[in-house]
Structure 1
Amino acid sequence: MFRYKDYIPLPPWSDGEPGSPYRNAKNPVGDRRRRIGQGIVSLSVLVNLYFLYATFTSWPAPLDNYQALNTHPILDTKALVAIKPANSQDNAIVTGLYTDAFATAVATLGHTLNVANSSAARLLYYLPDKVSERALCIATVSGWEPVRIERIAPPFRGVHRHFLDQYSKLHLWTLDQRGYQSVMYIDSDTIVRRNFDEVFRLPYTFAAVPDVYTDSQGYVTAFNAGVMFLRPDTELFHDMVSKIATAHYPAEQAEQAFLNHYFGAEVLRLPYAYNGNLAIKKRTPKLWTALQDEMRIMHLTMAKPFLQGDYAEVAMDQLERNAERVARKKPVFKEEIAEWVEAWLETRRTYASKLAKCNAL
Structure 2
Amino acid sequence: MAHEYTPLHSIANANSRRRPRCLLFVLVAVVTCALVVALAWRTDTYTPLTHYQDLNPPPLVSPTNRTQRTAVISTLYSDSYALAAAVLAHSYQHHHPNHTARLLLPYLPGRISPPALCVVRAAGWQLIEVPFIPPPNHGKGIHHRFIDQYTKLNIWDLPDTHIDKAIYLDADTLVRAPFPELFDLPYTFAAVPDVYTDAARSFTIDFNAGVLVFTPSPDVLATMKRTLQSSEDSDTKARYPPAQAEQAFLNLFFAGTALRLPYAYNANLAIKRRSPALWASLSSPSSDNRARIVHYTLVKPFKDIPLRSLRGSSHAGAGASYDDDHARRVLSTLPASENGFWAEEVGWWARAFEDMMAGEVGRAVQACLREEDSGDDKVKEPIKRALPRSLGSLWRRKGRGGAPIPKQPETTTGLETATTVVVSETGVTITETNSTETTTTSPTPV
> TM-score band, normalised by the shorter chain?
0.7 to 0.9
**Equivalent residue number for residue 260 of structure 1:** 251
Q: Greater shift after overlay, 197-206 or 314-323? A: 314-323
SS of structure 1 residue aligned to 2:183: helix
Q: Distance in 2 between matches of 1:271 and 1:8?
A: 84
Q: Distance in 1 between matches of 2:151 and 2:252?
A: 17
Give the structure with higher Rg (CA).
1
Judge conservation of contact 2:107–2:129 (CA < 8 Å) in 1: yes
Cα pair distance change 1:42/1:277, threshold 3 Å: closer
**Equivalent residue number for residue 77 of structure 2:** 98
Cα pair distance change 1:135/1:41, threshold 3 Å: closer
**Equivalent residue number for residue 323 of structure 1:** 331
Q: Which amino acid aligns with 1:261?
A: L
Cα pair distance change 1:129/1:98, threshold 3 Å: same
Q: Which amino acid aligns with 2:181?
A: E
**Equivalent residue number for residue 15 of structure 1:** none
Residues 1:222 and 2:218 are matched in the alignment: no
Judge conservation of contact 1:86–1:200 (CA < 8 Å) in 2: no
1:9 offset after TM fit, Å? 7.9
Q: How does 1:339-350 map to 2 (within 5 A)?
A: 339-350=348-359
**Equivalent residue number for residue 197 of structure 1:** 180
Judge conservation of contact 2:103–2:126 (CA < 8 Å) in 1: yes
1:86 offset after TM fit, Å? 3.4
Q: Which amino acid aligns with 2:362?
A: A
Q: Distance in 2 between matches of 1:168 and 1:45?
A: 46
Judge conservation of contact 2:69–2:163 (CA < 8 Å) in 1: yes
Fraction of identical pairs, as percent: 38
| CA-to-aligned-CA distance 1:337-357 (integer Å, 9 cap, x gap) | 011011000111112320121
Q: Which amino acid aligns with 2:254?
A: F
| CA-to-aligned-CA distance 1:163-216 (integer Å, 9 cap, x gap) | 111101101111485221101000011111111111111111100000001102
Q: Distance in 1 between matches of 2:292 and 2:227?
A: 33
Q: Distance in 2 between matches of 1:108 and 1:298?
A: 13
**Equivalent residue number for residue 30 of structure 1:** none
Cα pair distance change 1:43/1:232, threshold 3 Å: same
SS of structure 2 residue aligned to 1:185: strand
Cα pair distance change 1:341/1:222, threshold 3 Å: same
Judge conservation of contact 2:83–2:307 (CA < 8 Å) in 1: no
Judge conservation of contact 1:91–1:183 (CA < 8 Å) in 2: yes
1:248 offset after TM fit, Å? 1.7
Q: Greater shift after overlay, 317-326 or 225-234? A: 317-326
**Equivalent residue number for residue 366 of structure 2:** 356
Cα pair distance change 1:157/1:47, threshold 3 Å: closer
Match of 1:272 among 263, 267, 275: 263
Match of 1:237 among 221, 226, 251: 221
Match of 1:178 among 154, 161, 164: 161
After TM superposition, the score normalised by the length of structure 1 is 0.75
Match of 2:114 among 124, 133, 148: 133
Q: Distance in 2 between matches of 1:220 and 1:312?
A: 35
1:91 offset after TM fit, Å? 0.5
**Equivalent residue number for residue 86 of structure 1:** 66
Q: Distance in 2 between matches of 1:176 and 1:161?
A: 28
1:313 offset after TM fit, Å? 6.9
Q: Distance in 2 between matches of 1:8 and 1:194?
A: 93
Cα pair distance change 1:326/1:252, threshold 3 Å: farther
SS of structure 2 residue aligned to 1:119: coil
Cα pair distance change 1:116/1:234, threshold 3 Å: same
Q: Which amino acid aligns with 2:161?
A: R
Match of 2:88 among 109, 134, 141: 109
Q: Distance in 2 between matches of 1:355 and 1:165?
A: 26
SS of structure 2 residue aligned to 1:221: strand
Q: Which amino acid aligns with 1:148?
A: E
SS of structure 2 residue aligned to 1:224: strand
1:95 offset after TM fit, Å? 0.6
1:325 offset after TM fit, Å? 3.4
**Equivalent residue number for residue 143 of structure 1:** 124
Match of 1:160 among 140, 143, 150: 143
Q: Which amino acid aligns with 1:354?
A: A
Q: Which amino acid aligns with 1:284?
A: S
1:244 offset after TM fit, Å? 2.1
SS of structure 1 residue aligned to 2:341: helix
Q: Distance in 2 between matches of 1:198 and 1:139?
A: 26
RMSD, aligned α-carbons: 3.1
Unaligned 5+ runs, structure 1: 13-37, 50-82
SS of structure 2 residue aligned to 1:307: coil
**Equivalent residue number for residue 416 of structure 2:** none
Cα pair distance change 1:323/1:164, threshold 3 Å: farther
Q: Which amino acid aligns with 1:325?
A: T
Q: Distance in 2 between matches of 1:347 and 1:262?
A: 38
| CA-to-aligned-CA distance 1:111-150 (integer Å, 9 cap, x gap) | 1111111331110111111101100111122211111111
Cα pair distance change 1:8/1:121, threshold 3 Å: closer
